[in-house]
Every structure is written in structure tokens, then in C-alpha cells.
Amino acid sequence: MIVFDFSSLSAISHVRNAASVISVITQQLSLSRSEGIREPQAHNLGTLSQEPSATKRTLTAQAITNNSKCGSGQSRDKNMWPFACDSIWNVPIGANANYVNAYIGSKGIGVDTEWYITTKDSDPAVSTYMPPTFSPGRCSGTIPQQQAQWHPEASQPMKVPYNLIIPDATTTYTPNGSSAFLKPDGRTLVSFTTTTRCQQGGPLYSNWFGQQDIYGDGIEGGHGGSGMSSIGGSIRPGELINNIPIRHALKIDIWGKWLHYNSSSPTPGHRWPAPLADANAPNQYQGSNPALVMGSLLAIPPNVTAQSLGLTSIAGQKIFQAMQDYGAYIVDDSGWDYNYLCVEQSAEVEYSTVTGHDLSGDAALQADFTKIIANVKVVNNNGANSIGGGGSPRQPLPPPIGN
């Protein structure tokens, strides 16, 4: 059974499957996680299957700064609004979007906390170790990053702010721990999952998910169920409490019961832009809708309004508008009958500070999201050449990055 404390609805309540551990899948450099397993126990995460040499990729920062694809307006801050103007996170839903039913039966909304950390040359360099478990005790690992067998950069010490603490899992709280560390060069993101740091100045415990360019497409990162970005699509500070529309796509975790798996598909259990699906997808994905897989883009059709749904909370109305204008990508399996919105940690703290309650405890938002999720569709023609379905975008493209 799932160990879950209903007073802490922000928990991501699932554990790894010892049989799937972490695997490096052909044609993707990523760590796949099997979620939704009902019996919490300590598992050895110290075994990786080798990435085939024919498909090795070097995940390093690449110069992708084509401002000809940007909109007008005041330049944006890469730390708050990252990635290229034509990134999946920044391209709005288009007029040619083909909406098909999603059939997601879960109603509530919790928080999948993500971490974005900027680093400086003056920060201490620390070792990174693989957590020995997805359960409590993540900071007891002693195994170096096994990805270093194929990607030597995975073994390099990380510059990490001395005071940074990322809490361990508990018996009632087992977060995904997706994180992105911006290196002192101001360009290179290092992505991890299961990120934990229990002691100031101590080692970082996490599973390395490669390096990306903060000016690049932003597709890949530390979400273990999809291989998608740790920070692209995250709710950022101010976005749920100010009066400015959210101008990027969101990310969501849904229960594997609703996700479809077709072993004969060229990409079983996932679709572009997700590089992969969970390692245990053949067993944990039980949905019958072939359009709903890891990486599917969910969106609210244009004929639905916040007024017609009777949305009452500011946060609910902002999430609704973002999901209508930009959509939300499915990036992980929630592991049980619940949905999770991906929120950067400082935005989560901000929301609680400003409103006096956390996102998971916001009754009005819970009621609003139940209405939102019941009305989402899959943008079935979302693709590399038709992001958001193509056609005239619902909103202008973002301005260039200014820093």
C-alpha cells in the first residue's frame, strides 16, 4: 500500500521498483524510474545498465540563441523564464491544435517540488553520490555517479552553495527531487533527480541526468518518468499570486493508471517531446487512450472559459489560462490517484507565505483544479514541427533572453 499522510498532500507517494532500478535506455541518456509500486521498502539503486555505444550522446551546453524566432517586448531573465523562444515551454497553443479526449480520472492537485539552484565559482565544490534508496536515507549513499562510465562530466564535483539544504524523504513524503543547477558559466544546467542534501557543506545525493543549455530547447532534464526538463514548465515565483498571465507551458504528473502503453509503438508509453517512459511502464501504465502517454501535451479547448467552469481562486484561474494558452506536459507518474503540478521550491514557499496556506491545502484551488482536469484534452498533433499543434499562436512568442 502507499504510505501517505493526508495532512501532507504535497507528497509524491511512490517508490522505486527494485527490478527496474535505473536504466539507461537505448537512444536516450536518462534514468528511468518505476513508480506507483505500493510496497515501500529500501531498494539498491546502485546498478545501471550500460548505454549502447552506438547511441551515446554528449549532453553539454550548446549555443542555441536564434532571436529571430522571438517576439517583442522587454527582454526576459533566463533564471526566471529560461530556454529558447521556440522551446516547447515557450511556444503557445496554435490555432491548428487537434484536441482529443484525455480521460484522466484523478481529481485533486498536489505539488511536485522542483529545485533551481544558481551557483558561483566561490561556492564549495562537493562530491555527488547516488542515493541508495527512494525512501528515507537518501543521504547515506557512497556510490559515485555510474553515468560517469559514459559521461565523465557526471563524476565532476559540483559547485553547490554552502547553505543549501534539500530535505531527505520521510515515511510520508517521497519527492521526485528533480533539480537543475546552473553552473558558474551562466549557461550550463546540470540536471538531477532524487536530489537530496541533508547537511550544509556536505555532499549532494542525486542521480545525474545530463547537462543542458539554458538558452537551448529545454526538453531534457531530471524527470525520471519522461526524461524531461527539471525546470522548464515549472511554476516560478510570482506566477500564482501576481496579476500577470503565466507565459509558458506547465508540467503535470498523473497516475499511471490513465497512461497508455503499446509495446508495438515506435515509442511505447511516450511521445515527443518525452525521450522515454518509466522503466516499468508495461506494468504500471494501464490506460486505454493511445493519445495519453508520457510527454502528451494537455490543454483546455478555446470554447471553454474560466467563467463557464465557475473557477473562483486566483491560482486556479491562472493555471486555467496557462493550460489554455500553452498547455501542460505530462512528465511523471504520480504513483496514485492524484495529480501533481510541478512547482519550483521558492514559488511553493512564496505561495504559502503570501496566502497563509500551501497549494495542496488551498480548498478553492482544489475545487478549481477538479474542474480544470475534467476539461483538459490532448493536443494530438503536437510535434517537433508543430509545437502546440501549429497555426497562429494564441499568444505572442516570448521576447529574447537579456542576460
The C-alpha cell 516560478 sits at: 236
Looking up cell 545525474 gives 208
pLDDT value of position 62: 39
Instruction: Tell me whether residue 8 is in a domain.
Output: no
Residue 338's pLDDT is what? Answer: 94
Quick check: 35 pLDDT over 80?
A: no
Predicted confidence (pLDDT) at residue 3 exceeds the cutoff of 90 = no
Answer yes or no: do 264 and 374 share one domain. yes
Query: Tell me, what's the pLDDT at 215?
Result: 98
Domain boundary among 200, 228, 256: 228
pLDDT surpassing 80 at residue 239: yes
Percentage of residues of the chain with pLDDT beyond 90: 81
Q: Are residues 190 and 244 in the same domain?
A: no
Please, are residues 117 and 164 in contact by the beta-carbon 8 Å criterion? yes
Verify that 35 and 173 share a domain, yes or no: yes
Asked if 14 contacts 334 with a C-beta cutoff of 8 angstroms, the reply is yes
Q: What is the mean pLDDT of the chain?
A: 86
- Residue 54: pLDDT band (50, 70, 90) is very low
Domain boundary among 228, 257, 287: 228
Residue 45 shares a structural domain with residue 94? no
Please say which residue of 228, 244, 263 terminates a domain: 228
| pLDDT computed for residue 108 by the predictor | 87
Is 15 within the bounds of a domain?
no
CA distance 384 to 381: 10
Name every residue whose Cβ is closer than 8 Å to that of residue 232 and which is 6 or more positions away in sequence: 82, 83, 87, 88, 89, 218, 219, 221, 248, 249, 251
Task: Quote the pLDDT of residue 65.
Answer: 57
- Which pLDDT band holds residue 146 (cuts at 50, 70, 90)? confident
Q: Are 220 and 227 in contact (CB under 8 A)?
A: yes
> What share of the chain has pLDDT > 70, as a percent?
84
pLDDT at residue 177 is higher than 90: yes
Q: Tell me which of 74-83, 140-149, 219-228, 373-382 is least confident.
A: 140-149
Closest CA to 103 of 376, 342, 384: 376
The answer to whether residues 260 and 317 belong to one domain is yes
Answer yes or no: is 261 within a domain. Answer: yes
| Displacement of CA 307 from its chain's centroid (Å) | 29
Residues 214 and 84 occupy one common structural domain: no
- Residues 349, 268 within the same domain: yes
Mean pLDDT (whole number) for 333-361 = 95
Q: How far apart are CA 382 and CA 322, in angstroms?
A: 17
Nearest-angstrom CA–CA distance, 55 and 276? 14
- DSSP-derived secondary structure for 51-103: PPGGG-----------GGG---SSPBPTTTS-S-TTSTTTPPPBTT--EEE--
Mean pLDDT of 178-205: 97
Cα separation, 229 vs 116, in Å, equals: 11
**Measured CA distances, 360 to 11, 105, 288 (Å):** 9, 18, 29
pLDDT-derived band of residue 395, with 50, 70 and 90 as boundaries? very high
248-289 pLDDT per residue, tens: 999 999 999 999 999 999 999 999 999 999 999 999 999 999
Terminal-to-terminal C-alpha distance of the chain? 48
**Given a cut of 90, is residue 32 above it in pLDDT?**
no
Residue 400 lies in a domain: no
181 and 222 together in one domain:
yes
Q: Is 4 within a domain? A: no
pLDDT at 17 over 50: no
Q: Is residue 9 part of a domain?
A: no
CA–CA dist 352, 344 (Å, integer): 13
**Same domain flag for 97 and 81:** yes
**CA dist., res. 150 & res. 59, Å (int):** 11
Indicate whether 182 belongs to any domain.
Answer: yes
Q: Are 303 and 379 contained in the same domain?
A: yes
- Cis peptide before 273, with omega less than 30 degrees from 0? yes
Which triple of cell numbers denotes residue 68? 529571430
The mean pLDDT of 85-107, rounded to a whole number, is 97
Reply yes or no on whether the pLDDT at 48 is more than 80. no
Same domain, 240 and 205: no
Kindly state whether residue 397 falls inside one of the protein's structural domains: no
Residue 199 is part of which domain span? 22-59+114-228
pLDDT of residue 13: 31
Pair 117, 180: CB distance under 8 Å: yes
Domain count, the chain: 2
98 and 209 share one domain: no
In angstroms, the CA 218 to CA 233 distance is: 9
DSSP state, residue 197: B
Of 76, 16, 83, 91, nearest to 329 by C-alpha is 91
* Residue in the structure block whose three cell numbers are 506494468: 283
Report the half-sphere exposure of 120 (CA within 13 A, side-chain side). Answer: 4
